[in-house]
């Protein structure tokens, strides 16, 4: 009867340990993502306005953009440098076009501002000005109220952010289990052959 091969067994065990580590890491990411989504949900119901997060400020510890996500904000679009359209939904969930202006602020930082929604893909005429709205991933400011005669866009919602870390964790644990079963079957076949 042959002995269990040392090198292949170590390789399989190391691979299984790494897959278990990745599964555990995904469980940690799940907790972090749930906490982040809870913060975003709370921020979405806040009514006070915050400074646009990418403006140059002389603060010692300025807020990070992700800490301000889904909050109401205001900015002054000094100059529109480009206009574009992307697929989007209005506040009733109807598909159409979201019209996005690329603005320059007083400090020359570019900012994407979603002006509003329409079925027409042609960009509206808008030359800039003060915009209020919600900070959405990107980051971009989704105008509320809409501008340039457009309809309201769908409100940015943290529920739209995928949270599939539990599925990834289960997947890694299953990979580890399958690797052990396959290796055990291979060892069993080898032992029987001897």
Q: Each residue of 132-178: pLDDT tens digit?
A: 999 998 889 999 999 999 999 998 888 888 999 999 999 999 999 99
Report how many domains make up the chain.
2
Domain that holds residue 76: 49-160
pLDDT at 53: 64
Mean pLDDT, rounded, for 106-132:
90
Mean pLDDT, rounded, for 74-92:
91
Mean pLDDT across the chain = 88
- Are residues 88 and 32 part of one domain? no
- Are residues 168 and 150 part of one domain? no
- Are residues 171 and 117 part of one domain? no
pLDDT at 193 over 80: no
- Are residues 59 and 154 part of one domain? yes
- Are residues 156 and 169 part of one domain? no
DSSP state of 20: H
- Are residues 61 and 152 part of one domain? yes
CA-nearest of 180, 176, 183 to 26 is: 176
Mean pLDDT, rounded, for 90-114:
90
Residue 181's pLDDT band (boundaries 50, 70, 90)?
very high
43 occurs within a structural domain: no
CA distance 118 to 99: 8
pLDDT at 5 over 80: yes
């Amino acid at each position: 009867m042959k002995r269990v091969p040392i090198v292949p067994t170590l390789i399989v065990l190391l691979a299984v340990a790494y897959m278990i580590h990745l599964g555990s890491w995904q469980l940690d990411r799940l907790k972090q993502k749930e906490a982040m989504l809870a913060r975003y949900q709370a921020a979405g119901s806040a009514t006070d306005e915050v400074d646009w997060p990418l403006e140059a400020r002389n603060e010692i510890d300025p807020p990070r953009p992700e800490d301000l996500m889904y909050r109401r904000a205001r900015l002054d679009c000094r100059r529109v440098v480009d206009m574009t359209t992307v697929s989007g939904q209005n506040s009733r969930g109807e598909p159409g076009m979201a019209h996005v202006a690329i603005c320059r602020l007083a400090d020359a930082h570019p900012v994407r501002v979603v002006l509003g929604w329409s079925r027409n893909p042609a960009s509206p005429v808008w030359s800039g000005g003060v915009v209020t709205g919600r900070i959405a991933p990107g980051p971009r400011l989704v105008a509320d109220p809409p501008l340039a005669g457009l309809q309201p866009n769908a409100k940015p919602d943290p529920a739209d952010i995928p949270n599939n870390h539990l599925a990834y964790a289960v997947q890694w644990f299953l990979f580890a289990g399958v690797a052990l079963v396959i290796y055990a079957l291979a060892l069993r076949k080898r032992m029987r052959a001897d």
